[in-house]
Amino acid sequence: MKKQFLVPGSWFLAVALFACTHGAVRPDPAGSVDAGNVDAGVDPSAHAALLAAAIAEERHLALQKPVPVVVDSTDVFREAFRKKSARESKLSGADREDLEPEWVAFGFVAPAGSAPDAGVAADQVAEVASGVLDEQIAGYYDEFEHRMHLPAEMPTSVTGGVDPSLKGPVQEFLVAHELEHALQDQHFGFERLTRLPAATEARLCTNAVYEGDAMLAGLVHLANQLGVQPGRMLEATDRQLSKGRLQGSGKQLESAPPVLRERLLFPYAAGLHLAIALYRTGGWPLVDALFAHPPQTEAQLLHPEKYVAGVGAVPVAVPSVPQGQRAVASGSLGELGTMTVLLESGHAEVARRGANGWAGDAFLISAPDGSKRLTLQWVTTWDSEEDAERFLGLVNRVVRGGWTDGPEHPKSWTIRGPASAVRAGKTVIVVRDMAGAELTRRTPELMTLVGPKPPDAPPLGKLTLAGPTVTGQVLPDGAYGSEPWALYVPTPPGFIAIAEPQQAPGILLMVARGKPFAAGSFGVLSRPFSLALAQQTFDMAEHREKNPKRVGEGSVTLAGARGWQRTLVVDDRRVQTLVVPACGGAQAFVFQLSFEQPADEPLLRDWLESFANKADAPACPR
């Protein structure tokens, strides 16, 4: 059970980007937890108590008792975490699990004794995993002691790629995440998770419920702190996660085998993806329901529509043991494991798409009596023949060039010999280190191992997921239209308009032209307009530029609303940031213009005049 917080650095960078485009405002230090500096004269427990009350209110879960906070030196923090992990491992049986045969057979790690260019070898995994955790762990909640632990110094994986002005909010997000684990302990308990065997799909899926809920609670709190509408931040973050996948940062994590990275990060990303889908549909009550009805497969996490419909895995029987061999390991890889196999075929997005449509699988790993040379039999079934054919093409790339034969080794598991894959209908069989004649003989038997598709069993009753909120769109005439904001904004001649561009999370509209370069963007702050808000927004925008020179700042009137603007010169461009009242001053519109030619300034100013906001627009607070 891992309730520690692993810091996905590039994900924080995405949140920082989102916040920057909205002119994020750092929370008042009196209400923040300075988890990265214990010498600041701040009582972490007192500040955590204030934050816990805020999280409980936002999460709609009552705080039943205070949550003690311990700030440890780095060495003490790591040692305490290892002791807690050892206690969890003993409860779940993880200390008795041996994943080496599975990881070697599927090519997740190289057999011990392989050449250095073969990647991380099986006998190096423990050391690599320890290094990853030391590098990535930035806090954890101890369910045995019922208290939260923070390191005196945040790992660089937390703050390395984050705008300095956002380090405070990011650290507060971290603490909010762990405080949500405390609320989970008080309301749902961890017994369901503790009882599940280690290294199983059920364990991984249930852990994703706990981590996804904590990620969601932290994000909602972060949005409130930054003055951003939570719904927009959640949707932008979900797009950035690419439906359940995220990347991390740090030398140890980047050098770890993909199977280790994916399993560590999956509960956070996929759990958040499912939690966002349910929160968007029915708020916190539906998220609460996940604890009583956790997903049954990784596919349900990655595809929330399968979760709410109750689409279960198609049963696949474990292949029989070849004559003269003994069973070493058996089980199911699931969609995550299948995707990890396909990572050897190329780009991560290709692997993700290749695993889409997974419906069920089972594998058997065996070895001759008295030998540690492995044989693999893997039977997969798919939602459609098209899905099966796509998987076959990708897995063939892996078996023909991605898997490494290991040297003969008397004490370590190894695998040698050819691998092949065949398809019949929706079933794809993959074998490794099995002679062609033996494969031909066993194929008919392997094809019969797939059972009938089970009936759907919706865990939450009849439910239709809500789609993402459409704030605005580019209309057939090329203009931007937004019913929530009561806007109709023509696009400047020669420009293209992009609504909610994925490369810039949080921006509602971007217009741009290539040569000569000119661009404009539009976003919304969910805080009341003020001069202080405008200046903080300007500071954020200025910090993102390289060698900016401030050339002007003052009041501006836009579409009848009096706001504030700052102008910078950056290389050969002028960059103007404007903040003006919206919703009668209850919120604020934020614009940024960037152009090389002075003649483009009046063109972009005319574009801005179309953003006449009405105080009674549907999106305005009531």
Alpha helices in 343-485 (DSSP H): 348-355, 385-401, 436-447
Residue 23 near residue 262 (C-beta atoms within 8 A): no
Q: What is the spatial distance between Cα 601 and Cα 593, in angstroms, rounded to a whole number?
A: 8
Q: Which residues of 230-249 are buried (b: 16+ CB within 10 A; e: fewer)?
A: bbbbbbbbbebbebbbbbbb
- Give the N- to C-terminal CA distance of the chain in Å, as an integer: 43
The pLDDT assigned to 38 comes to 38
Which residues of the chain fall short of a pLDDT of 70?
Answer: 1-45, 92-97, 117, 156-166, 242-250, 502-505
CB atoms within 10 A of CB 539: 15
The pLDDT assigned to 340 comes to 94
The pLDDT assigned to 258 comes to 83
Residue 361 near residue 324 (C-beta atoms within 8 A): no
Q: What is the spatial distance between Cα 423 and Cα 441, in angstroms, rounded to a whole number?
A: 15
Burial of 485 (0-12, 13-18, 19+ CB in 10 A): buried
Residue 510 near residue 21 (C-beta atoms within 8 A): no
The pLDDT assigned to 27 comes to 29
The pLDDT assigned to 159 comes to 58
Query: What string of H, E and C letters represents the secondary structure of 411-438?
Result: CCCECCCCEEEEEECCEEEEEECCCHHH
The pLDDT assigned to 267 comes to 92
∠ at Cα 240 (237, 244), nearest 5°?
90
Q: In what order do the strands lie in the sheet with 473-474?
A: 473-474, 480-482, 487-489
pTM, two decimals, is 0.80
Q: Which amino acid is at 71?
A: V
Q: Which of 217, 214, 274, 218 is nearest to 241 (CA)?
A: 274
Query: Structure tokens of 584?
Result: 């009668």
